[in-house]
Amino acid sequence: MSRDEILEPGLRERLARQREQEWRKTLRQAVPARNRLEIPRHKMPEQPPDQRAGNFLEVNLGYSLDIAREEAQRCLDCGDPGCVSGCPVAIDIPTFIKYIEAGEIDLALATIRETNGLPAICGRVCPQEVQCEKHCNLIKARKESVAIGHLERFAADYVRRHDQAVTESACGPATGEKIAIIGSGPAGLTAAADLARLGYQVTIFEGLHLPGGVLTYGIPEFRLPRSILNQEIDFICSLGVEIKTNFLVGRTATLSDLSQAGYRAFFIGTGAGLPSFMNVPGENLSGVCSANEYLTRVNLMKAARFPEYDTPVPVVKKAAVIGGGNVAMDSVRTALRLGAREATIYYRRSRVEMPARVEEVKHAEEEGIKFNFLTVPVRYLGDDKGKLNGIVLQRLTLGEPDASGRRRPVPVPGSEFEVEAELAVVAIGQSPNPLLIRQVDGLNLGRWGNVEVNPSTMATSLEGIYAGGDAVRGGATVILAMGDGRRAARAIDQWLTKC
Amino acid sequence: MTRVVLSERLVPNIFHLVVDAPDIARSARPGQFVMVIPDETGERVPINLADWDKNQGTIDLIFMNLGVSTRKLARFKTGDSLQAVVGPLGRPAEIGSFGHVLLVGGCYGLAGLYPLAREFKQKGNKVTFLAEGRDEAFIFWEDKIRKVSDDFQQVLRADCFASGHDLGRIIGQIKEASQELSRVVVMGCSYLLFIVSNITRELNLKTMVNLNPIMIDGTGMCGACRVTVNGQTHFACVDGPEFDGHGVDWTEYFNRRRAFLRQEELALAGYLNKTLD
Ligand SMILES: Cc1cc2nc3c(=O)[nH]c(=O)nc-3n(C[C@H](O)[C@H](O)[C@H](O)COP(=O)(O)OP(=O)(O)OC[C@H]3O[C@@H](n4cnc5c(N)ncnc54)[C@H](O)[C@@H]3O)c2cc1C
Ligand SMILES: Cc1cc2nc3c(=O)[nH]c(=O)nc-3n(C[C@H](O)[C@H](O)[C@H](O)COP(=O)(O)OP(=O)(O)OC[C@H]3O[C@@H](n4cnc5c(N)ncnc54)[C@H](O)[C@@H]3O)c2cc1C
Ligand code: SF4
Ligand code: SF4
Ligand code: FES
């Protein structure tokens, strides 16, 4: 995609207009670019590794106001800001950063909120190094990028901490029309917020007992504290969105039931909840589980606090996690926090191919997680009670690049070796949850069981039904899911206005 | 929150809750279950739908006191509220016109089979209901079940069930007396499912069992409920819970069910200590 396609129409002009305001000019001139380039990137203060490995509190502690303003000074307020084109929702990054430099934090947050409904979350979990920060012009100057993610998080946290309640009223006329959003992950939440702002009556249906999708059941508290998430969700409810939990669409009611109940349009944001397994012998031993199971026990059901909470979780000395993405990092660091003496990642490619956020890999290493690259389990071993006690792994080497451009791992014959493990968490990927989408007649699905959509409107093959997020993309990212929700909201509004 | 409209003890270890759940009552099908979260610190407990009333908007849950969760549920009184109930979950039971069906229920399984009996009957099948229990005092809903079945029999463990011998003889007799008997459905504790499957394998009688593996979400998202049937891994909460009893890998099933036994016992001991003082 070219840059102009990514940028929304009119955005370029808007960015330029903002940049030409008097206060911005003054601020730009206050410190010469040369001096700005001299300031080194500010490190995120964090809990020391040996301490945090024993608790579930957030690892990153956040910038202070002073540090944030100094970091904001590093930003050159570019006329052609690369950063914005790297952000999937095209946040006006220079404007919000300059507001931070000027100490106007609430205005910084308001700027972010124009295009991003969940700033405290994206600031924490976006893979910035491949998005906004990758395209920061400072990198061309051989400097580290501006810490855009840390600053975004700072703006959201600061305003919240100082109780500057962000209020907003619906900007569109109340149309009163009912819209059903299925799934309360980032895609659904974003679509709901935008449609509520446009004056629609929005209900989110969520199958689990708590809203948030992966943000609730998958991503651990040491990366995304529940209180932060809850505040973001409360904010969305304050726009008038109703969230019906314990309502599994396709079972509790079908889409046609909802349509009879008066819902005019639908957004499917049911995510990619179906865990993949590898179909190797011994995979159903007790002690082998999906990352979804492991993380759900701990995050959604609070199993770390068993027996105060009733859901148990395996507590082991040696834990193995299969995979190299964020899901694997979250699982292995959870195992460590639950008391594993040895928690090891087994990944089938090498370090550079690991899809996890760079920060998570760094944090995991500091905490003492072991990494075993270019290995793949070929068999799980159990005792006479069917409990896992070991894994047979095979070594791989990297061959020719595959379709994804990454070099394909090839097994090395005769390289099998055995490791001890009482817990193996399989984190090799997820595919779209089939429960609802396979049930809807006429809904076109792609090769991987994902919902097919028109990428510019997120419209599915059925009129009035839109979809986005992981249900469409397979396992992707929070911010892409949000972008989909936003695009769908706009298209739903246009469709309803037309008909 | 979900309101309890009726709470009663049916037999010494089995309880009955009727709860307000109009959406579930409207969509319920025989063989489906719900996930119940008793209270704020509770786990998600799968419980079969024993009955429902679309007009009143209520569902009936029947459960056996076992560990912490079921004991917590047993303490709910009329007017109290459960933290959450979601459903109906799972595939509905396969209910065709098979001729003559034999439903074998043990402990809480009597209740879960009741809606199957009713619908099998409606579809014109002859329904024989075989209730298994420790002794007479543990059989409940007999009148209710008799109304939707042609024949109601009991097999009591007190009369030597341990060997599985009696159950085997009775099922054998039922089969011999009926040319038409073509299908058996079993619900209840895991051991009963296993025993009956072994018996009917010998008799060459198609048998569906309602598996109760450990579940977390009940919506197909975690895979905790994995079972192997005819060599294939299934997620029991979305592919089942009804499966071909002759294809189940029982060793794996029993092993997986025991995965948290030590923690469950620990929690139960703690809970009993707490609730007794
Ligand atoms: C452990 C883990 C760590 C991750 N870390 C990161 C990260 O650091 N950064 C990042 O950008 N991305 C990360 N991701 C990916 C990111 O979380 C997802 O891409 C994103 O959450 C997708 O959003 P979504 O709204 O499409 O779906 P989800 O977040 O999956 O939400 C879908 C919701 O729909 C509900 N639902 C499903 N079916 C039904 C139904 N029939 N009826 C009602 N409700 C239903 C589900 O219960 C769920 O709550 C991570 C994912 C995982 C699993
Ligand atoms: C689809 C489905 C439907 C179900 N429907 C019903 C229902 O309608 N009614 C109902 O009562 N139950 C039903 N169950 C089973 C029910 O979910 C469990 O009994 C319940 O989760 C037990 O929770 P608990 O905390 O009380 O006991 P747990 O803590 O899980 O177990 C308590 C104690 O019981 C003992 N125990 C564990 N497993 C067994 C076993 N197999 N046999 C003997 N002792 C054992 C152990 O000593 C353990 O410490 C169903 C299960 C599934 C999967
Ligand atoms: S939303 Fe994500 S990509 Fe966009 S600016 Fe924020 S951290 Fe960067
Ligand atoms: S590209 Fe970097 S320096 Fe330029 S405006 Fe964006 S964040 Fe600031
Ligand atoms: S209980 Fe989680 S997939 Fe079945």
Query: pLDDT tens digit string along A173-188?
Result: 667 899 999 999 999 9
Summarize the confidence of residues A18-22 as an average pLDDT: 93
Whether residues A218 and A321 share a domain: the answer is: no
Task: Give the mean pLDDT of chain A.
Answer: 92
d(CA A494, CA B238): 37
Six-digit token pair at B222?
A: 């975690």
Whether residues A351 and A412 share a domain: the answer is: yes
Q: Which residues of chain B are within 8 Å of residue A258 when distances are taken between CB atoms?
A: none
A209 Cα: distance to centroid of ligand 2 (angstroms) = 21
Task: Give the mean pLDDT of chain B.
Answer: 93
Q: What is the pLDDT of residue B164?
A: 57
Q: What is the pLDDT of residue B156?
A: 83
Q: What is the pLDDT of residue B33?
A: 98
B86 lines ligand 5 (CB under 6 A): no
CATH code of A453's domain: 3.50.50.60
**pLDDT band per the 50, 70, 90 thresholds, residue A6:** very low
**pLDDT band per the 50, 70, 90 thresholds, residue B157:** confident
Q: What is the pLDDT of residue A484?
A: 94
Six-digit token pair at B106?
A: 């043990």
Whether residues A407 and A460 share a domain: the answer is: no
Residue-range domains of chain B with CATH: 2-89 (2.40.30.10), 93-210 (3.40.50.80)
Q: What is the pLDDT of residue A5?
A: 38
Whether residues A264 and A342 share a domain: the answer is: no
Q: What is the pLDDT of residue A111?
A: 93
d(CA B18, CA B82): 11
Q: Which residues of chain B are within 8 Å of residue A275 when distances are taken between CB atoms?
A: 221-223
Of the candidates B85, B220, B252, the beta carbon closest to that of A246 is on: B85
Q: What is the pLDDT of residue B100?
A: 95
What does the buried/exposed string (b/e) look like for A291-327 if buried means 16 or more CB atoms within 10 Å of the residue's CB? bbbbbbbbbbbbbbebbebbbbbbbbebbbbbbbbbb
**DSSP letter string, A98-123:** HHHHTT-HHHHHHHHHHH-S-HHHHH
Query: pLDDT tens digit string along B87-97?
Result: 999 999 999 99
Please answer whether residues A138 and A45 qualify as being in contact, where contact means their C-beta atoms are separated by less than 8 angstroms: no
Percent of chain A with pLDDT over 90: 85
| Contact check, Cβ <8 Å, A289/B86 | no
Query: pLDDT tens digit string along B177-207?
Result: 888 899 999 999 999 999 999 999 999 999 9
| Residue tagged 């960015």 (tokens) | A15
d(CA A207, CA A204): 10
d(CA B36, CA B48): 10
A126 lines ligand 3 (CB under 6 A): yes
| Contact check, Cβ <8 Å, B260/A312 | yes
Whether residues A327 and A357 share a domain: the answer is: yes
Q: Which residues of chain A are within 8 Å of residue B270 when distances are taken between CB atoms?
A: 307
Please give, rounded to a whole number of angstroms, the shortest distance from the CA of A110 to a CA of chain B.
Answer: 35
Residue A424: closest CA among A380, A368, A385: A380
- Reply yes or no on whether the pLDDT at A166 is more than 70: no
- Reply yes or no on whether the pLDDT at A1 is more than 70: no
- Report if residue A173 sits inside a domain: no
**pLDDT band per the 50, 70, 90 thresholds, residue A2:** very low
Residues of B with CB under 8 A from a CB of A: 23-24, 26-27, 37, 41-44, 68-69, 72, 83-89, 216-217, 219-224, 226, 228, 233, 238, 251-252, 254-256, 258-260, 263-264, 266-267, 270-271
Of the candidates A207, A275, A297, the beta carbon closest to that of B223 is on: A275
Of the candidates B84, B220, B263, the beta carbon closest to that of A274 is on: B220
- Report if residue A189 sits inside a domain: yes
Question: Which atom of ligand 1 sits closest to the CA of residue A188?
Answer: 25
Ligand nearest to the CA of A87: 3
- Reply yes or no on whether the pLDDT at A139 is more than 80: yes
A462: helix, coil or strand?
Answer: coil
Choose from B217, B235, B272 for mutation: most chain A CBs within 10 A.
Answer: B217
Six-digit token pair at B126?
A: 């002859």
Q: How far is CA A430 from CA A189, A208, A363, A473, in A?
A: 21, 18, 24, 11
| Contact check, Cβ <8 Å, B84/A245 | yes
d(CA A383, CA B141): 43
- Report if residue A127 sits inside a domain: yes
- Reply yes or no on whether the pLDDT at A161 is more than 70: yes
Choose from A214, A244, A248, A255 for mutation: most chain B CBs within 10 A.
Answer: A248
**pLDDT band per the 50, 70, 90 thresholds, residue A172:** low
Question: Which atom of ligand 1 sits closest to the CA of residue A357?
Answer: 8
Question: Which atom of ligand 5 sits closest to the CA of residue B235?
Answer: 4
Query: pLDDT tens digit string along A30-81?
Result: 999 999 999 999 999 999 999 999 999 999 999 999 999 999 999 999 999 9
Whether residues A39 and A100 share a domain: the answer is: yes
Q: What is the pLDDT of residue B277?
A: 59
Which of A111, A128, A161 is at the close of a domain?
A161
Whether residues A210 and A94 share a domain: the answer is: no
Q: What is the pLDDT of residue A498?
A: 82
Beta-bridged to residue A407, according to DSSP, are: A401
Ligand 3: which residue has its CA nearest to atom 4?
A87
A121 lines ligand 1 (CB under 6 A): no
A243 Cα: distance to centroid of ligand 4 (angstroms) = 38
Whether residues A188 and A151 share a domain: the answer is: no
- Report if residue A170 sits inside a domain: no
Number of domains in chain A: 3
Give the pairing of strands A178-182 and A263-268: parallel
A390 lines ligand 1 (CB under 6 A): no
Residue of B nearest to A257 (CA): B27
Query: pLDDT tens digit string along A461-488?
Result: 999 999 999 999 998 999 999 999 999 9
Q: What is the pLDDT of residue A7?
A: 44
Which of A126, A161, A196 is at the close of a domain?
A161
- Report if residue A81 sits inside a domain: yes
Of the candidates B41, B44, B224, the beta carbon closest to that of A289 is on: B224
Domain residue limits at A475: 178-273+431-498
Summarize the confidence of residues B25-41 as an average pLDDT: 97
Please answer whether residues A93 and A119 qualify as being in contact, where contact means their C-beta atoms are separated by less than 8 angstroms: no
- Report if residue A166 sits inside a domain: no
- Report if residue A459 sits inside a domain: yes
Ligand 1: which residue has its CA nearest to atom 35?
A183
Q: What is the pLDDT of residue A24?
A: 95
pTM: 0.94
Query: pLDDT tens digit string along A388-428?
Result: 999 999 999 988 888 877 788 899 999 999 999 999 999 99
d(CA A96, CA A102): 10
**pLDDT band per the 50, 70, 90 thresholds, residue A3:** very low
DSSP state of A134: G
Whether residues A231 and A157 share a domain: the answer is: no
> Does residue B147 come out as left (phi exceeding 0), alpha (psi in the -120 to 50 range) or beta?
alpha
Whether residues A334 and A398 share a domain: the answer is: yes
Q: What is the pLDDT of residue A175?
A: 75
Q: What is the pLDDT of residue A436?
A: 94
Summarize the confidence of residues B61-78 as an average pLDDT: 94
Which of A382, A397, A428 is at the close of a domain?
A428
Residue B147: closest CA among B129, B168, B165, B160: B129
Q: What is the pLDDT of residue A4?
A: 40
A295 lines ligand 1 (CB under 6 A): yes
Question: ipTM for the complex?
Answer: 0.94
Whether residues A37 and A148 share a domain: the answer is: yes
Whether residues A460 and A417 share a domain: the answer is: no
- Reply yes or no on whether the pLDDT at B159 is more than 80: no
